[in-house]
Structure 1
Amino acid sequence: MYVCLCKGITERQLKQAIAEGNTEFKQLKRELGVGSQCGKCIPVAMAILAEENAKTALYYEVA
């Protein structure tokens, strides 16, 4: 699924960047350019970021 149409960024690309350590929105913006043009993708990108960060936190909490 495309998250950012302006930059052609997919959900998979976002999740990969988050897995590589870009755990803050400003890092994703710098790394991929998400949210740097029209901004309509920011809510979806933030939701994906929160979901992925929650998964990581849960993993470390259980382990």
Structure 2
Amino acid sequence: MYICICNAVTDSQIKDALDDGATSVADLNKTLSVGSCCGKCTRSARAIIKQYRSAMEIDELSYSAM
């Protein structure tokens, strides 16, 4: 799904950037130009970052329980 219409950035591209080490909207702005035009996408981008972090925490907890 497109998150940043201005720059044609999808949620998959954002998730890939997070996998590659991005940790904030500022990082996404540097790599994908998210939020560089109208800025309406930043809320959705933050939600994806939050979901990503939660998923990573769950994965870490599951892994450490083994």
TM-score (norm 2): 0.87
Equivalences for 1:15-30 in 2 at 5 Å?
15-30=15-30
Equivalences for 1:28-43 in 2 at 5 Å?
28-43=28-43
CA distance in 1, matches of 2:57, 2:26: 19
- CA RMSD, 1 decimal: 0.9
Q: Secondary structure at the match of 1:3?
A: strand
Q: Aligned residue pairs: how many? A: 63
Aligned to 1:54: 54
Structure 1 stretches of at least 4 aligned residues deviating more than 4 Å after TM superposition? none
Could you say which structure has the larger radius of gyration?
Answer: 2
Q: Deviations over 1:21-55 (max 9, x none)?
A: 11222111111110111001111111011101111
Query: Where in structure 1 are there 5+ consecutive unaligned residues?
Result: none
CA distance in 2, matches of 1:53, 1:20: 13
CA distance in 2, matches of 1:16, 1:27: 12
Amino acid of the structure 1 residue aligned with 2:20: E
CA distance in 2, matches of 1:61, 1:27: 26
TM-score (norm 1): 0.91
Query: Where in structure 2 are there 5+ consecutive unaligned residues?
Result: none
